[in-house]
């Protein structure tokens, strides 16, 4: 009974594949939608543009539309990182990914998501700021966004980094296939100093102490 429960709980991690698939499909759809929207906005803006009556207001409106589209791509990036992180943590930690996308624990996933969320907040506020007409509400919105960014930054700066303790031991962690050897050598820690002092292997057997006499000494 115990073995059955262990097998059941061990295999239940594959339920995360549903979340991985949903996040990945959402990221793909948002990216495709963003590309189509960029093409549509560009075509409409250049076909309806009055070159003689071009003014700063129209330029700001066009820039605002493009900034809004950046939000779509950033949100798609967040969902894509979630899909990769969940798959690495629960299914296969040896995905062929670049070094900066390696996720070893939930802290790594939260850190990467936090960076993208900060950029998303900044871009969203920039779009609202360009669209506003000097309203006082934009000030409070900016203060709220700044408070969120400061809170995220402090949370990442003050948290203990327990998940990276194995980096000090000189371990070899799997990385992507594009790195060549498939592993990355990390700097050895104090525990590995004894391994560096080992003599190189040679063809001759090592000499034994106290037996340094010449081969002919036995016949003397």
Residue 29 · residue 99 · CB < 8 Å: no
Collapsing DSSP to helix, strand or coil, 174 comes out as strand
| CA–CA dist 194, 197 (Å, integer) | 6
- pLDDT (tens digit, 9 = 90+) per residue, 148-207? 888 888 887 887 765 444 444 434 344 444 444 444 444 455 444 444 445 555 555 555
Q: Report in angstroms the alpha-carbon separations of 49 from 46, 52, 56, 58.
A: 5, 9, 13, 9
pLDDT at 201: 52
Q: How confident is the model at residue 34 (pLDDT cuts 50, 70, 90)?
A: very high
Is it the case that residue 213 has pLDDT exceeding 50?
Answer: no
Residue 20's pLDDT band, with cuts at 50, 70 and 90, is: very high
CA geometry: angle 16, 20, 25, nearest 5 deg? 150
> Containing H/E element for 138?
helix 137-158
Kindly indicate the confidence band of residue 128, based on its pLDDT and cuts at 50, 70 and 90: confident
What are the pLDDT digits (tens) for 75-104? 898 899 889 888 988 888 888 888 888 888
β-strand partners of 192: none
pLDDT at 122 over 50: yes
Q: What is the domain partition of the chain in residue ranges?
A: 2-49+56-159+173-179
The Cα 93–Cα 103 span in angstroms is 8
Q: Taking Cα atoms as reference points, which of 146, 98, 96, 141 lies closest to residue 118?
A: 146
123, 149 Cβ separation under 8 angstroms: no
Rounded Cα distance between 55 and 57, Å, is 5
Question: Percentage of the chain with pLDDT > 70?
Answer: 71
Residue among 75, 36, 77, 43 at smallest CA distance from 62: 43
Query: What is the pLDDT of the chain when averaged over all its residues?
Result: 73
> Per-residue pLDDT averaged across 130-134, rounded?
71
């Amino acid at each position: 009974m115990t073995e059955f429960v262990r097998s059941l709980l061990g295999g239940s991690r594959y339920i995360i594949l549903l979340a991985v698939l949903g996040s990945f499909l959402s990221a793909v759809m948002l990216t495709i939608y963003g590309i189509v929207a960029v093409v549509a906005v560009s075509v409409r803006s250049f076909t309806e543009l009055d070159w003689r009556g071009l003014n700063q207001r129209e330029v700001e409106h066009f820039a605002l539309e493009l900034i809004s589209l950046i939000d779509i791509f950033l949100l798609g990036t967040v969902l894509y990182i979630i899909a990769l992180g969940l798959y690495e943590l629960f299914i296969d930690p040896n995905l062929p990914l670049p070094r900066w996308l390696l996720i070893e624990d939930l802290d790594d996933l939260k850190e990467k998501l936090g960076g993208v969320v900060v950029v998303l907040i900044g871009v969203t506020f920039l779009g609202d700021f360009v669209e506003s007409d000097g309203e006082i509400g934009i000030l409070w919105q900016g203060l709220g966004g700044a408070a969120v960014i400061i809170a995220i930054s402090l949370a990442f700066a003050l948290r203990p980094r327990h998940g990276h303790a194995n980096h000090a031991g000189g371990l070899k962690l799997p990385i992507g296939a594009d790195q060549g050897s498939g592993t990355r050598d990390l700097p050895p820690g104090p525990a590995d100093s004894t391994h560096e002092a080992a003599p190189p292997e040679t063809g001759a057997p090592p000499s034994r102490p106290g037996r340094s006499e010449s081969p002919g000494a036995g016949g003397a």
